[in-house]
Structure 1
């Protein structure tokens, strides 16, 4: 698998493109959003402008992961990100995460962005499995993940104290044969596993800079 290639993926509403250091200011604004903070990491001041610029400026040089900016196709505005990381060669598997700022929510951009990346992951990269973790109370994210074909595989029972209460993590994945059958549009309810149904911003719990 060649993760050194950073593609441009175009949909009806969004364009996924490689990050540059110049995206750091737009990302910093997104990371100040309360919903993003709630479902990704605390606003503890560790992500300084210098660190963000270095992080996003270095994404295109990495050959072990794929970080793409989610942008509005009509305006070019940066709305968020989608990421494949933790490549496991023997399993042909990657972990997935995403986040969207407030101007990217509620209009189908997250759904389209995930479908674009997964189509590339299975069709071009030859992955067998894409997996993720999400907080059980992140109902918006869980809805989108199920909608594009992720299946709930289990739950890590309380793993972290959040907002004064212990929170579970939901484990989900989609496999290449499943993707080949629905390409991100499974039959209604087909991707839902009620053993671990949870419940936000569209986000997962790991892999922050």
Structure 2
């Protein structure tokens, strides 16, 4: 009997969707998006908040090769974040590190300087996480956020990510050891609040 049991198919990461919200559009990222994304790689504050240790100027040729290959990846989803009012590419949102045995993956988002604090990252996060649960059938989406990035943590909490624990001294940044907070959101939680946990919370009488 066991020979006839077929495992469930994995999520379709190979199909790269367009996900449209009220203010942002997520679409497949391409090599042509690299010039718009370059400020993201050259920004010192972005490097600190994401724990990036790259030195020197970003290598545009290498980045073009990387982003040009994203369309054929069947184990991850890389989408460009586009501000609809201007048509400008302002960042990227990614589902990666797929674990087939656990039906889970990781999430990360990064925006170019000047795009923060406008709610665009929150909407982009809702769009791609919702796609992960509603279309790809994921059970768990997780991320790590450094202790010196409370702004990002607040965005994740607004979408429904829950802190699970602390990775102590996970990052060594300019001589300082920094904790990382592990956060996740589960499919049952998403389907309960659709990325708006505060709105779904019952009001007290």
Under a length normalisation based on structure 2, what TM-score does the superposition of the two structures give? 0.88
Aligned length: 190
- 8 Å CA contact retained: 2:170, 2:177: yes
Deviation per residue, 1:52-89 (Å, 9 max, x gap): 00011111111110000001012110111110011111
Residue in structure 1 matched with residue 143 of structure 2 by the alignment: 132
| Equivalent position of 1:180 in the other structure | 191
Larger radius of gyration: 2
Q: Which moved more, 1:37-46 or 1:120-129?
A: 37-46
1:8 is aligned to 2:14 = no
Among candidates 104, 111, 125, match of residue 122 of structure 2: 111
Q: Residues 100-149 of structure 1, C-alpha deviation per residue, up to 9 Å, x if partnerless?
A: 11232111100000000011000000000000011111011001011100
2:180 maps to 1:150: no
TM-fit CA distance, 1:159: 2.0
Aligned twin of 1:27? 37
Q: Which one has more relative contact order, counting CA pairs under 8 Å at least 6 apart?
A: 1
Residue 197 of structure 2 aligns to a residue whose secondary structure is: coil
C-alpha distance 19-166 of structure 1, shift in aligned 2 (>3 A) = same
1:38 CA displacement: 1.1
Does the Cα contact within 8 Å between 2:168 and 2:178 map onto a contact in 1? yes
2:42–2:57 contact (8 Å) kept in structure 1: no
> Aligned ranges for residues 164-179 of structure 1 at < 5 Å?
164-179=175-190
- Is it true that 1:70 corresponds to 2:81 in the alignment? yes
RMSD of aligned residue pairs (Cα, Å): 1.6
Aligned to 2:47: 37
Match of residue 17 from structure 1? 27
- Structure 2 stretches lacking a partner, 5+ long: 1-10
Partner of 1:57: 68
Deviation (angstroms), 1:45: 2.8
Aligned to 1:200: none
Q: Does the CA-based 8 Å contact 1:32-1:43 persist in structure 2? A: no
Q: Distance in 2 between matches of 1:32 and 1:144?
A: 23
Q: Which residue of 2 aligns with 1:203?
A: none
- Segments of 4+ moved more than 3 angstroms: none
- Structure 2 Cα separation of the partners of residues 23 and 187 of structure 1: 35
Write the distance in 1 (CA, Å) between the matches of 2:44 and 2:57: 16
Q: Aligned equivalents of 1:30 and 1:129: distance in 2?
A: 27
The alignment partner of 1:140 has SS state of helix
SS of the residue 1:16 aligns to? strand
